Structure 1
Amino acid sequence: MNTIAEIAELANVAKSTVSRYLNGGSVSETTRKKIEIVINKTGYMPNAFAQSLKAKKTNIIGTIVPRLDSFASTQILIGIDDKLREQNYQMLISNTSQDLKREIEYIYYMSNQKVAGIILLATQITQAHLEAFDKTKVPVILVGQQHERVYSVIQNDELAAFEMGKYVLEQGHRKIAYLGVTEDDIAVGVKRKEGFQRAIRNVEDCDARYYETSFSMEEAVKKASDIIETFVPTILVCATDNIALGALKAAYLKGLHVPRDISITGFGGYDVSEMIHPSLTTVKFEYKESGQDAANNMVKLLNGIKIPPILLSRYTIIERESVDNILKRQ
């Protein structure tokens, strides 16, 4: 592999001249041709990342994710990368492992790396986040959460959960367990729960109880087992597909048949939800599209183009095998 110094020696020019040429600076036509001939002969490939860091205006977009072992995060990252590469931007990824302190640290770190903007797949927005945004002055777009002071690309969690609630009622279910997550997560923990509650609020003879677990399938198995034993619902409405997979395992361990003995639904539309048996009825969110939207909006923002403060992604309720229609069976 050649270096800038070697290219300079072969072209018989100064190293600084080669560097200036690679960074789009002013060089004479004669010098430019000499450098290009050497580069073509050697096949030299400049380090685009290093070039970007040296430039006054970088083409690097920092992307901060809470976890990498997540279907949603992976799809969002694929969408971001697709659109950024189309527009000659690069993505720099930092994984926080769901550590809020590390998330704040990465905002400052990426600012020090001179990123052009930050796309943050947030689980919650704290005062420390807002202070970091203000201090760094780096353009930020949130994905999956919203805040009135920050541009956001979000799933329509409240409306999707409302429609799931209506669907569950239409299947005749009246003894319902809703298994969500902590309300620290506004999108998954609050909005989905609120949407579901709104759907069943004025329904007579409806016994709905609300429970919390984590995003872990293992913990969902334990919590769902307790719910099945103590409440005996006809349906478990789970705030994510991972939680729903844990509920399916809990039902299996107890010798229950899904959906005859208990129905289960999820949110997310993960690939595995279609491949398992019984396949999972779920809300499919367009995570890859969310990433593409975030990337497009970031590029627009960096080029002075006005973007909406909130952009909603599409979703679809996918009806599969895990929900029993009680009305038809009766």
Structure 2
Amino acid sequence: MTKNISDIAQMAGVAKSTVSRYLNGGSVSAKTKQKLERITREAGYVPNTFAQSLKAKRTHLIGTIVPRLDSFAAAQTMTGIDEELRTAGGRMLVYNAGQDPQREIEAMQDLARQKVAGIILMPAQVTDEHLRAAEAAGIPVLLVGQGSNRLHSLVYDDYRAGLLMGRHVLGMGHRRIAYLGVTEDDEAVGRRRKEGFRAAAADCADCDISYYESSFAIGDARLAAETILDECAPSLIVCATDNLALGVVKTAHLRGLSIPSQLSVTGFGGYEVTAIINPELTTVRFPYYEAGKHAARSMLKLTAGEEVERLTVLDVELLARESVDNLNKPSV
């Protein structure tokens, strides 16, 4: 049977207030502390740290708002945050926003009411309403993946990611290209990656690049791929995320197209599955796990009143693999 504070107090022969002080790090005698340590350990008592933090109006909880729970990027980032916080004695409280900006704002308001020490937010976009909610929260708010000059932000170099990918595929001889992106309301994925890719293609006089848009869903990417293949018959489809690339790969297989000899495909993200599928997907790796650890360290500093860089930009890495055909190779 689960023990509560009253049970522990009775077993120790002390008042409930004494047990409460001990559990909250208050002043108790050395003898009483030793007794309570032993009894709570033997009884298997686990204190409700969340309730304690609310009562004390101070908490080691960090609220983390993610766009979706089934995202590889979000999962890796949360793992990094959780591991770093646990090492420092903190905890993470996760809210799933379901890719809904209004739910992100409501989550910030709710977390502030629950008196978390700070909020790590992974938004698809940052609106004025987001900024107002962050200011009203009255606690540190750290953005991950998107940036704002009004909040501490940790971002990836999405522009460089697009630039690296553009230079790579052009260097492999591809000139008839389709770029499958997402809404430009998403500053990082929808806009910056595309801008980097366009910059790489700017000096290529004989390039024919068509731009398309999809949601983040694999199913929508499959439908977009049908349209792309019907309209422009590219030698290569560059996808703004690895999930979009997986949707394109599925459509190619259903159409009997061989990758990469009949259609090359690339993504962005560096998801684990991209190294398992055949052929392995050419992509750009984003350090999601490392970003999570960095975000947690920054948040702990902010909650302690320490200085933190307003903007941190994390580098990315091109993973040149098998899904892009080398059109420069001599024909046999």
Give the secondary structure class of the aligned counterpart of 1:317: strand
TM-superposition CA deviations, 1:107-134 (whole Å, max 9, x none): 0100011000000011111111111111
- Decide whether the 8 Å contact of 2:101 with 2:123 is kept in 1: no
1:255 corresponds in structure 2 to 256
Give the secondary structure class of the aligned counterpart of 1:45: coil
Task: Give the CA deviation at 1:191.
Answer: 0.5
Give the secondary structure class of the aligned counterpart of 1:237: strand
Distance 2:277 2:31 in 1: 65
TM-score (norm 2): 0.96
Distance 2:40 2:228 in 1: 67
- Decide whether the 8 Å contact of 2:76 with 2:289 is kept in 1: yes
Code of the residue aligned with 1:62 in structure 2: it is G
1:219 corresponds in structure 2 to 220
Task: Give the CA deviation at 1:40.
Answer: 4.0
- Decide whether the 8 Å contact of 1:289 with 1:313 is kept in 2: no
Give the secondary structure class of the aligned counterpart of 1:129: helix
Task: Give the CA deviation at 1:30.
Answer: 4.3
Code of the residue aligned with 1:155 in structure 2: it is Y
1:149 corresponds in structure 2 to 150
Distance 1:211 1:329 in 2: 31
- Decide whether the 8 Å contact of 2:120 with 2:295 is kept in 1: yes
Distance 1:285 1:221 in 2: 23
1:280 corresponds in structure 2 to 281
TM-score (norm 1): 0.97
CA gap 1:329/1:50 in 2 versus in 1, 3 angstroms: farther
TM-superposition CA deviations, 1:82-118 (whole Å, max 9, x none): 1000000000001011111111111010001100000
1:38 corresponds in structure 2 to 39
Q: Say whether residues 1:84 and 2:69 are aligned partners.
A: no
Q: Say whether residues 1:309 and 2:310 are aligned partners.
A: yes
1:59 corresponds in structure 2 to 60
1:71 corresponds in structure 2 to 72
Q: Hey, which bits of structure 1, 4+ residues long, moved more than 6 A? A: none
Code of the residue aligned with 1:324 in structure 2: it is D
Give the secondary structure class of the aligned counterpart of 1:242: helix
Bigger Cα displacement from structure 2, 11-20 vs 217-226: 11-20
Bigger Cα displacement from structure 2, 166-175 vs 28-37: 28-37
2:177 corresponds in structure 1 to 176
1:99 corresponds in structure 2 to 100
- Specify every segment of 5 or more residues in structure 2 that has no aligned partner in the other structure, as ranges: none
Code of the residue aligned with 2:135 in structure 1: it is D
TM-superposition CA deviations, 1:140-171 (whole Å, max 9, x none): 11111111111111111001110110111100
Give the secondary structure class of the aligned counterpart of 2:329: helix
- Decide whether the 8 Å contact of 1:176 with 1:237 is kept in 2: yes
Distance 2:282 2:129 in 1: 38
Give the secondary structure class of the aligned counterpart of 1:324: coil
Distance 1:318 1:39 in 2: 51
Distance 2:38 2:223 in 1: 67
Distance 1:29 1:163 in 2: 62
TM-superposition CA deviations, 1:218-254 (whole Å, max 9, x none): 1111111111111011110000001001111111122
Code of the residue aligned with 2:236 in structure 1: it is I
Task: Give the CA deviation at 1:255.
Answer: 1.7
Bigger Cα displacement from structure 2, 91-100 vs 51-60: 51-60
Task: Give the CA deviation at 1:309.
Answer: 1.3
1:186 corresponds in structure 2 to 187
| 1:127-138 alignment, distance < 5 Å | 127-138=128-139
- Decide whether the 8 Å contact of 2:3 with 2:45 is kept in 1: yes
1:108 corresponds in structure 2 to 109
1:195 corresponds in structure 2 to 196
Identity %: 52
Distance 2:244 2:41 in 1: 55
Give the secondary structure class of the aligned counterpart of 1:268: coil
Distance 1:188 1:41 in 2: 52
Give the secondary structure class of the aligned counterpart of 1:178: strand
Code of the residue aligned with 2:148 in structure 1: it is H
1:3 corresponds in structure 2 to 4
1:24 corresponds in structure 2 to 25
Give the secondary structure class of the aligned counterpart of 1:13: coil
TM-superposition CA deviations, 1:43-62 (whole Å, max 9, x none): 32322222222223210000
Distance 2:31 2:281 in 1: 66
CA gap 1:40/1:290 in 2 versus in 1, 3 angstroms: closer
2:209 corresponds in structure 1 to 208
2:168 corresponds in structure 1 to 167
Task: Give the CA deviation at 1:12.
Answer: 2.0
Number of aligned residue pairs: 330
